[in-house]
Structure 1
């Protein structure tokens, strides 16, 4: 808010009362700086953190492979549930937390931002406990439903029993990260997630395989290493937030539950949780359909899917960065700026991801030959990449549209776009199986579903009203605290 300063010289006869003098408010970089450099400045720490997550997957696969083929199969069974936990707590509910805090700060309401942070932590604890209870009770049945049997099932149960017994830990870690990102601080959570990734590799490998006097605990040891790394990351970020070093400090003294605070977070986060859920379901259904064509086709698709994961990480980095910038603009009533941020992020993701995907489509051997020497697998993977890799650009569009919509608290449209993609893959896959179509037809189905998702997500942003329902909102330009 602008500060009114009155002249201090006393009035004498004949003087007129002085007019109030307005001092210029301090600039908020997220509200006043140029969009493109601000987006890039916030995105690069996320690229580092997400790349570290990719490295963890590679190392984890390597040392779990030393435990045997059954351990690898067990990890494949538990991976969807672990990823669902991380994407829900980080990208979905975490986006709701970042959005609510950013909108409060954009409107200049510090007290509301602090109160929202306290409610966010309570939501994280409740969701973490829900995952703990659900997986410990129904985990065995879910793993068997995915095909877990014998020693593979036993090892998978060993992992989820440890990991989900501490299910609150990853939720707290990602909630603290979301609180910080809502203030525009990307470096601290990214640094801690990168450090946690390094600890996860060291601790998971040590406890899983054994080292010196430390015995080999197998899959439970891998899970314990992961949880320990997450707990350290959550602890450091928690200390940082509660010490007052962040722009928000969760209100705990005299804490009272306010339904409005829960609603502000959950109206974005709860709806957004359906996005990763549908994404995992689409992946499982598509993989199940491709399994009809044999191991070589399935393995070739898996190699292509790894590249898809790596390239869309770049779009995630831009998308996560867009949440607080869009949120603060919305909170300040600067709707046009919020939309420009969304389109700038979409353009970056579409261009970068599309360009890299197209290069791999032209030279697929650069990627494929890293993973296999099998001629059948290579051929299947090349066919998949030639068809789908250029379409990764549309996944980039969908990703940034989804996160920008979180910042605007209007996430339903992009979530429904993911629903449409799920239905399209199911219906198209059923038809292709019914006519005994070749495997390459499924690759075209995958490519078409990416285009559909990207186009519908952008349309959702275009057609959804981000501003107030009636009348303009006065623009607010709060000073940074």
Structure 2
């Protein structure tokens, strides 16, 4: 009997996994909540996992170019996180509105909302690209990069920031797909972009150096955007965008902006704090500490992105179930996703605490860089369980369209708490870069506790989008 039950369970898991990757149209407002979480989370986890694999592979090959190249990529990525913030902010708004319209069984209105989000996103990205191309060297200098790092790395920064349009569109359109419940399509588009990146990165770096890494990234992401657009306009999915959907809709643009603005500032506040910490590490520990920190952060991102998959699943389920007036189901979906994320993150904590040095040594053999990187990985990794819970709670609020509450939480925890604490520890108590490392898990734990509190208060249940 036990053997039969195990066989049936394995068969059920396999069928669920297969169904999640096929991208079949599902109604996530009915049926098993656990199955709904997995159907959305599996492709979302796989989607972001390959993106995180690319981040690590990219750093592996860039690491062969020396610590100046590592520092350049790290500092540039810190600034590009602002672009990601805008992309994620717009993506959050698109997911919330599209999910709500899908929950209301109105796919045409969902397509219109997604198209208007794209109009808004392209306009913003063009401005960012122009600024990045013109002021690349100044941006690196502002980040505290040494003169030789600025000289070698300006071209990398110029290309990466110049490609802001494709970065923004890639993540924005995936937010539209996720809101519609088509997580498999979001996964496939990011996989295409990341796989091409992984293939082109070592080839282009070999022939063009650091500049090649930037070109490979922009080309890879452009291919992902092309795939997305083909399916939005020519595919057979739930969302079918037409020319009329792109006609400027002032009220809808304002509605999207109302949701996206706090969400964008939410992530700008967070990434701005990371930029300040990267600058503090560079100032207090020099290029060696900065290189070690950047390698550690790439590994942190590697394991955080899959957890974002579960968090994004929670956001979609909240949006669609609120649209269908299934309030209790929305809440239960979030609590289940938080439970799964905490379990996953506990394993990551063990990995980082006990195996930090061999992980960092994969990317560099410079002992001083390894020492800084391992220390950063162990300290930052200590708070991973709280990261996982906090991410789900924050994304649940965002998915409901309540982007203001997480923005306030981020401002308090990052700017009023994390940054002052990092400076106090690094400079006031002379812990140098270690002090900056310690401030990260402490602040993330506070975010998790505050987000949990506001989620349980339940005001998100009455938000209208």
TM over 0.5: yes
Aligned partner of residue 294 in structure 1, secondary structure: helix
After superposition, give the CA deviation of every residue in 1:262-321 in whole Å (9 maximum; x if it has no partner).
233223222111233222222233344445653676666555544432332232111122
Structure with greater proportional helix content: 2
Q: 1:42 maps to which residue?
A: 40
Q: Does 308-317 or 157-166 show the bigger shift?
A: 157-166
The two structures have a TM-score, normalised by structure 1, of 0.81
In 1, the alpha carbon distance for the partners of 2:282 and 2:268 equals 21
Instruction: Check whether the contact 1:96–1:269 (CA below 8 A) recurs between aligned residues.
Output: yes
Mark the CA change 1:29 to 1:79 in structure 2 (over 3 Å): closer, same or farther. same
Mark the CA change 1:368 to 1:64 in structure 2 (over 3 Å): closer, same or farther. closer
In 2, the alpha carbon distance for the partners of 1:449 and 1:254 equals 42
Q: 2:460 maps to which residue?
A: 466
Mark the CA change 1:110 to 1:150 in structure 2 (over 3 Å): closer, same or farther. same
Q: 2:258 maps to which residue?
A: 267
In 2, the alpha carbon distance for the partners of 1:382 and 1:207 equals 29
After superposition, give the CA deviation of every residue in 1:8-67 in whole Å (9 maximum; x if it has no partner).
xxxxxxxxxxxxxxxxxxx95311122222212211222222222222223322333445
In 2, the alpha carbon distance for the partners of 1:163 and 1:289 equals 23
In 1, the alpha carbon distance for the partners of 2:80 and 2:385 equals 26
2:52 to 54, 66, 80: 54
Q: 1:5 maps to which residue?
A: none
Q: 2:233 maps to which residue?
A: 242
**Superposition map of 1:308-457 within 5 A:** 308-358=300-350, 360-362=352-354, 364=356, 367=359, 370=362, 387-422=379-414, 423-433=416-426, 435-438=428-431, 443-457=437-451
Deviation at 1:185, TM superposition (A): 0.9
Deviation at 1:418, TM superposition (A): 1.5
Deviation at 1:257, TM superposition (A): 2.0
Q: 2:84 maps to which residue?
A: 86
Q: How many aligned residue pairs are there?
A: 437
Deviation at 1:457, TM superposition (A): 1.6
Structure 1 gaps of 5+ residues are 1-26, 211-215, 471-481
Mark the CA change 1:396 to 1:163 in structure 2 (over 3 Å): closer, same or farther. same
Q: 1:479 maps to which residue?
A: none
Q: Does 318-327 or 56-65 show the bigger shift?
A: 56-65
In 1, the alpha carbon distance for the partners of 2:353 and 2:343 equals 15
**Superposition map of 1:154-303 within 5 A:** 154-210=151-207, 216=208, 218-253=209-244, 255-291=246-282, 294=285, 301-302=293-294
Deviation at 1:151, TM superposition (A): 4.9
Structure 2 gaps of 5+ residues are 1-24
Instruction: Check whether the contact 1:290–1:442 (CA below 8 A) recurs between aligned residues.
Output: yes
After superposition, give the CA deviation of every residue in 1:82-114 in whole Å (9 maximum; x if it has no partner).
33323531x332121111111011112233112
Instruction: Check whether the contact 2:327–2:461 (CA below 8 A) recurs between aligned residues.
Output: yes
Deviation at 1:369, TM superposition (A): 5.4
Query: RMSD across aligned C-alpha pairs, in angstroms?
Result: 2.9
Aligned partner of residue 318 in structure 1, secondary structure: helix
Deviation at 1:242, TM superposition (A): 0.7
Mark the CA change 1:220 to 1:113 in structure 2 (over 3 Å): closer, same or farther. same
Deviation at 1:455, TM superposition (A): 0.6
In 2, the alpha carbon distance for the partners of 1:154 and 1:434 equals 29
Q: 2:72 maps to which residue?
A: 74
Instruction: Check whether the contact 2:197–2:220 (CA below 8 A) recurs between aligned residues.
Output: yes
